[in-house]
Chains A and B, each alone.
Chain A
Amino acid sequence: MHTVIKPRRGLAQLDLAEVWEYRELLGYLAWRDIVVRYKQTSIGILWAFLRPFLTMVIFTVVFGRIAKLPSEGVPYAVFTFIALLPWQFFATAFAETAGSVVGNGYMITKIYFPRLILPLASIAVGIVDFLVSFVILILIMLWYRTPVSVHAWALPLFFLLCVVFTIGLGLFTAALYVRYRDMRHLIPFLTQFGLYVSPVAYSTTSVSPKWRFLFSLNPMTAVIDGFRWSLLGTTPLYVPGIIAGTATSIVLLVAGVYYFKVTERIFADVM
């Protein structure tokens, strides 16, 4: 085995082969994050059930009953829970990913491993929460006897889109956070803000057609519309929106990976 250490210049190498070599470490870190997350709360894994469920109840009362927002002809609880599923995945995984490098700073200054492993491993926590929420969704849909649309096959694709977007934005933010520590205040704000510009509580059909394309540049719009279309099939898919959201996600992923790899060289020096 021959290792060469020298300054890297220009475009950083992506070196996914090395990430693959370290896949066991990735697995262990993901597993640590998951175990610790549920060990540290007194109600443990129950929390993963309660959080999305309670959010859904609040949304249903506030937006469904009080504000009486239209819900594409299905029970509001189902309508909003389907959107909460990818949204909460995004919110959790984004926060975890964005904080993953700074949060593990002590490891970065003490040992070498491909730094990409840290944000990738933190996605896992979001995935576990997502799976738990998915079980709840099935129960809710059974309860309301909501028929499942024939488009259900497309659901994994929209989830993939959601993951791509989260990783892209997460990598970008994680690297920024290393250099600018006030990102800490910005990250929760971004998530909060994102909830209002994404159609979680309302339907995209209520957005004025004039603004609809602009609105679709937010990849979460495409993801949520995609989820509703796959599971409910109540409104036709707005294709330009899906294309716009996918394009934004891919651009973000490329930019995020690039910025992360360029910044990674100085991680240990500024930590």
Chain B
Amino acid sequence: MNEAVIGQGIGKIYRLGEQGTAYTLLRERIFETAKAAFRKREAAPAPEPFWALKDVSFSIGQAEVIGLIGKNGAGKSTLLRILSRITEPTEGRIDLFGRVSSLLEVGIGFHPELSGRDNVYLNGAILGMSRNEIRRKFDEIVEFAEIAKFLDTPVKRYSSGMYVRLAFAVAAHLEPDILIVDEVLAVGDSAFQQKCLGKMRDIRSEGRTVIVVSHNMATIASLCQRVLWLDSGRVKMSGPTHETVSRYLSEGASHEMSWSPRHPSNAEFEYHTIYVVPADGQELTDSIPGDTAVDVVFEFSVVKPLADQRIELHVANEFGEVLFTTTSADPDRRRNHPWAIGRHTYVCHIPGNLLPPGRYRLSVTHPFGYWSSMHENILAFTITEQNSVFAIDGRAGMITPLLDWTRD
């Protein structure tokens, strides 16, 4: 079999601890330089290097579909970004044989003021299609997106469904030899999701090489022949899908119930651990009956006196749609609340019967970071059909709360 992608000893280092964010302010830089010049002080401790990837090697054959799995922070996104040439590896080498397209997001470059037609051309060009290629496939794209009537309407007037369909349609008509794709792409309503997954299967049958990242093991199992499992920036296992996925699931399930940062965050505030437990005192289990409340427990330390802030908790379903957000300031009916120095435990109580059966992912903000310091999808749990309201009547909706009714 001919190789399509060969990766050898790939490593990527990120430096942390530079003011908590990667970019800084010129003002700070000037002050620091000035301070250093006057005080002859020792230079500030060099930021601690952090290997997001280390010694990752693999090879992918032509027409092979390979899945990239692993917990959040395992290095999947970093590897995807390196393969897509968005960021550079610190060491190692990758050889790609063929035309490469990467889809980490659909609709890149879409402008709300421009019409659907204009955006197809613009987005196609960003994805690397030539004008002729887009012209040739234009009708097909429009048909796939089901938006023929709105072609000349600015996309700002589109519904979110139409927008996503058009964006995906352009991407689906790429004809690369190697496709690098993030599964979160398959968004929209479930009929359209099926269409997207079908399109990915077509790509496979056309003999193209696909590298796909997914959290959804069902998707991985149905698409991929082989799986690369990353853990803490290294290849933990690489092998046939079924074998690797079942090993991953058996080891991974309980991991997703608790989370601790892999590296210390900024100096003022530090999470120790965040975990999910069923409120009925059962042991840590991945599957929670529908009527059981879920407690999300935050353990952290506040080191320095801080301005008012809050922790946000985002609860999303397996498609990545955020169902609701709750914050530690909710009990006060305020935006933010004061913080005391010391070690704390906060508990967020999610009532039973609120969530229908399914898998849920939690994202948590870092209260004193920037928006980008959100810890995404760090925890996950499954609500089962057992004792679920949904199991009784199969009611529709993204949430299934039991509400108070007055009956005369």
Contact = CB atoms under 8 A, between A and B. Distances in A.
Interface stretch (B32-40, B81-89, B189-197, B338-346): B81-89
A108 B86 contact: yes
A39 interface: yes
A35 B105 CA distance: 24
B254 interface: no
A180 B29 contact: yes
Contacts of B87: 265, 268-269
Interface string A1-30: 111111110000000000000001100110
B111 A32 contact: yes
Interface in A106-145: 106-113
B108 A6 contact: no
Contacts of A113: 126, 128
A110 B121 CA distance: 18
Contacts of A28: 121-122, 125-126
A157 B100 CA distance: 41
A111 B114 contact: no
A85 interface: no
A269 B25 CA distance: 16
B26 A4 contact: no
Given A108-B86, A111-B102, A36 B25 contact: no
B92 interface: yes
B23 A179 contact: yes
A182 B125 contact: no
Given A5-B82, A107-B108, A181-B25, A35 B113 contact: yes
Interface in B122-138: 122, 125-128, 130-131
Contacts of A57: none
B114 A36 contact: yes
Contacts of B121: 28
A161 interface: no
B160 to A, nearest CB: 17
B93 interface: yes
A40 interface: yes
A268 B86 contact: yes
A7 B130 contact: no
A250 interface: no
Interface residues of B, number: 46
Contact of A36 (B27, B98, B113, B130): B113
Contacts of A182: 25-27
Nearest to B105: A110
Interface string B355-372: 000000000000000000
Contacts of A271: 22-23
B253 interface: no
A2 B95 contact: yes
A6 B92 contact: yes
Interface in A252-271: 265, 268-271
A186 interface: yes
A23 to B, nearest CB: 10
Given A24-B125, A112-B85, A3 B104 contact: no
Nearest to B109: A107
A195 interface: no
Contacts of A106: 108
A109 B104 CA distance: 9
A36 B84 contact: no
Contacts of A107: 108-109, 126
A173 to B, nearest CB: 11
B91 interface: yes
A6 to B, nearest CB: 4
A110 B99 contact: no
B58 interface: no
A107 B130 CA distance: 18
Contacts of B111: 32, 36
B25 A110 contact: no
Contacts of A29: 109, 122
Nearest to A4: B95
Give the one of A28, A35, A36, A106 with max B CB within 10 A.
A28
A2 B90 CA distance: 21
B125 A25 contact: yes
B90 A180 contact: no
Given A5-B89, A180-B24, A24 B100 contact: no
A178 interface: yes
A5 B24 contact: no
A244 to B, nearest CB: 28
13 contacts: A3-B95, A6-B92, A7-B91, A28-B121, A28-B122, A36-B114, A110-B86, A110-B108, A113-B128, A176-B26, A179-B23, A265-B87, A270-B22
Interface of A: 1-8, 24-25, 28-29, 32, 35-36, 39-40, 106-113, 176, 178-183, 186, 265, 268-271
Task: Give the 10 A-B CB pairs with smallest separation, nearest first.
Answer: A180-B26, A270-B22, A112-B85, A5-B94, A3-B96, A6-B93, A268-B87, A28-B125, A25-B125, A270-B23
Given A36-B114, A180-B25, 4 more contacts: A5-B95, A111-B108, A112-B85, A113-B128
